[in-house]
Chains A and B, each alone.
Chain A
Amino acid sequence: MGATSWGFKKSLWVFHLNAGACNNCDIEVLDCLTPRFDIERFGMKLVGSVKHADVLLVSGFVSRKVLPDVIETYEQAPKPVAVVALGACGCTGGIFRDGYNFAGPVDKVIPVDAYIPGCPPRPEAIIDGIVKLMGKL
């Protein structure tokens, strides 16, 4: 088991799920891939299919409309999988917490392993959060 858990720590493939974010958090996620921040240094990459995911990166406050999809996506991911709540919205609901269609935040819906607050969080903060997550795994 030692080898596979070492591999898990060193190679986190991230599936990004937008659960009603205003899109600003999502832009910051893409920033992490640019030459300036280059998250591939830690072996991370964005994958297109949730079947390849090790980390579910959920941004946004989880609206009522996407609630079933968030749960289904979490169930489709092959376990073990870590969940990261991104942005003030993902952590607490942020500016949308009084909204009529607020069904979140993320940790009310699926178990969350790490929180990255900020509106939007800076790329440095995202990298910091992910590295802390790596230490925790």
Chain B
Amino acid sequence: MASTLGLVLNFLIFPGLLFTAIVGLLTQWVDRKVSARVQWRVGPPWYQPFADILKLLGKEILIPEGAGRTGFLFAPLAGLAAVGVVSTMLWLANIQGGGFVGDLIGVLYLLTIPSLGMIIGAAASGNPLASVGASREMKLVLAYELPFIIAIFTAVTKVSPMTLRLDGILDYQAVNGVLLGNASCIIAFIVAILCAQAKLTYPPFDVPEADTELMDGTHMEYSGAALAVVKLSQAMMLFTLPIFFITIFWGGIVLTGWGILYTIIKYVIIVTIIVLIKNTNPRVRIDQAVRFFWGPVTVLAIIGMVLAMVGL
């Protein structure tokens, strides 16, 4: 009983929803501030993302005529819950060694649920532009999932004995040095970062949202608290994905002594790479995005996999 309660608290407070939301929103501020500095602007104050979410909670929720109410309102919640679960699993594996067989596969599944939630929600809204956004998001998911999974499994191949447990991968790295020291895993890491860009729907792969042509596409019909849920799960993804990469490729999170500093540095480096890619690239068309992921990126991922198999 006590352990069930503990797990529920883990999910709701630390390291689940609440903690992830707070750090995710702070990260989103870093993102907006860095973007502003790149464009020679001053940028928003640090509490800006919090003010946005609070404001949205106080506004009216509009449900469009002809929309499927249940799908429209519950799909984003499913996405939010999924990110919370992923974050809980990653942190527990990192700080308590609490993994289970195949939790890596669970994480990979759960990481697609926010995108699926957005597809269902946008399709249920009954808005033509939102459904164009949903169809683009669907194509984007199909495009990036293949190289993403190959990249993650490159790391799995590299670990001996092969394991699908997150804490197994962490233990291997603790003994044999971080996986990022190998040529194959560097390639896999690059591929994973590119896929993260698409998972977050950040430029150059923001085709489903496309402010200027689709007017926020998949988010278009959301307002008030429902939009807050959507924005919050985006912010939490921005926090969870770098933590996932640190766990898989970069030795995991250490919360003792100098480890705290190293963990923060690793995290900031990954976030900065993502933000800089976001700010220096224009949006591609959806067909270009699919071709990019199925072409060069998949080939790169396979090269990484082959290198890992021959032991590099």
Contact = CB atoms under 8 A, between A and B. Distances in A.
Partners in one complex: yes
B48 A80 contact: no
Given A1-B58, A7-B58, A35-B40, A52 B227 contact: yes
Contact of A10 (B48, B58, B61, B216): B48
B285 interface: no
Interface in A50-79: 51-52, 54, 76, 78-79
Interface string B30-55: 00100010011111110110111111
Contacts of B61: 78
B41 A38 contact: yes
A54 B212 CA distance: 19
B55 A40 contact: no
A55 to B, nearest CB: 12
A41 B43 CA distance: 5
Interface string A102-131: 000000000000000000000000000000
B222 interface: yes
A40 B60 contact: no
A43 B216 contact: no
Contacts of A1: 58
A6 B54 contact: yes
| Tier of interface size on chain A | 20 to 34
Interface in B234-267: none
Contacts, number: 88
Nearest to B61: A78
Contacts of B39: 35
Nearest to B56: A7
Contact of B216 (A52, A54, A76, A79): A52
A22 B53 CA distance: 35
B137 to A, nearest CB: 16
Given A7-B53, A79-B59, A48 B215 contact: yes
Interface residues of B, number: 36
B215 A11 contact: no
Interface string B45-80: 101101111111111111000000000000000000
A78 B211 contact: no
Contacts of A78: 59-62, 223-224
Nearest to B47: A10
A47 B55 contact: no
B58 A11 contact: no
A38 B36 contact: yes
A38 to B, nearest CB: 4
A41 B42 contact: yes
A110 B241 CA distance: 45
A121 B95 CA distance: 57
Contact of A49 (B53, B59, B60, B219): B219
B303 interface: no
A66 B247 CA distance: 55
Interface string A1-17: 10111111011000000
30 contacts: A4-B57, A7-B51, A7-B53, A7-B54, A8-B58, A10-B55, A11-B54, A35-B39, A35-B40, A38-B36, A38-B42, A38-B43, A40-B32, A40-B36, A40-B42, A41-B41, A41-B44, A41-B45, A48-B215, A48-B216, A49-B215, A49-B220, A51-B62, A52-B216, A52-B219, A52-B222, A52-B227, A78-B62, A80-B59, A80-B60
Interface of B: 32, 36, 39-45, 47-48, 50-62, 211-212, 214-216, 219-224, 227
Given A11-B52, A11-B54, A40-B32, 16 more contacts: A3-B54, A4-B54, A7-B50, A7-B52, A10-B51, A40-B43, A40-B44, A41-B41, A41-B43, A43-B45, A48-B220, A49-B215, A51-B223, A52-B223, A54-B55, A78-B62
